Amino acid sequence: MSNKQGKIRPCGGFTLVEILLATIIGAMIAVAAFAVFRSVTSNRDTLEYYAGIMAHGRYALNLIRDDLANFYRAEDPEMMRLQGVKRDIEGKPADRLIIYVVSEQKVREEAKEGDVYEVEYGISEDTEKGISFLARRCGAVEDKSIGNSRGIMTRVARYIDELKFEYFDGQDWRRQWQQTDSPQRVRITLKLFDAESDHPSLEMSREVSLPAQLQPSDETETMEYDNID
């Protein structure tokens, strides 16, 4: 009687090569998914960052635009004021604008004030926090030939690293304005930058048209401005 030995059939499973290949493919998928996740997160953070500083820029541009739209005009040019001062700090534009505006909102509620105010814009710095911001000074004007170099200063917007005003006289743009008459247009350029962030700076600008002559008080002044988005 012969004893036959049967062959042992291998159990179904994965070989070492197949396991290694599957591991490599899984690792590649995980790396790709992580890269996509990081990219989406980074893009979201970038959008949130620029949306935040753009809000400061928009508010500043709108406020300056409104003051220019309410520029005080008089028959005697000596009674008006729109003064543009060119100034650079460490090679960066930090201009100043001084203007008479008409407003019904009082600076001090308890004081007797007229409707003409001297408004000044410029860059100031918070030395304790190490940040720069756009400042607005506003004071009631009693004698229009003298003005009011005092008043109340408020912080308008943070992250203002550069401030430049340009004035169009009908032919050329200039960064200073000392004439008794007003320019036809004013261009405001802001550069915003957060020193605590590694994002590049953002530049925003707007142009405002000034009326060429006195307008009735019940008419709306037209303004033009560039797209700052």
Question: For the residues 214-227, what does the mean pLDDT come to?
Answer: 41
pLDDT at 22 over 90: no
Residue 154 lies in a domain: yes
Q: Between β-strands 82-85 and 96-102, what pairing exists: parallel, antiparallel or unpaired?
A: antiparallel
The answer to whether residue 82 is domain-embedded is: yes
With beta carbons less than 8 A apart as the criterion, state whether 177 and 193 touch.
no
Domain hosting 191: range is 48-209
Q: How many CB atoms lie within 10 A of CB 223?
A: 16
Asked if the structure places residue 12 within a domain, the reply is no
Question: pLDDT digit string (tens) for 91-126?
Answer: 999 999 999 998 876 666 666 667 899 999 999 887
**32 falls within a domain:** no
Q: Is the pTM of this model over 0.85?
A: no
Q: Would residue 5 count as lying in a domain?
A: no
Tell me the three state secondary structure of residue 179: coil
Q: Identify whether 228 is part of a domain.
A: no
The string of DSSP codes covering 53-78 is: HHHHHHHHHHHHHHHHHTB---SSGG
- What digits encode the pLDDT tens for the residues 47-56? 788 888 889 9
Is 207:226 a contact under the CB 8 Å cutoff? Answer: yes
For the chain, percent of residues with pLDDT exceeding 90: 34
The number of folded domains in the chain is 1
As a whole number of angstroms, the distance between CA 11 and CA 20 comes to 19
Residue 86 neighbours by CB distance under 10 Å = 15
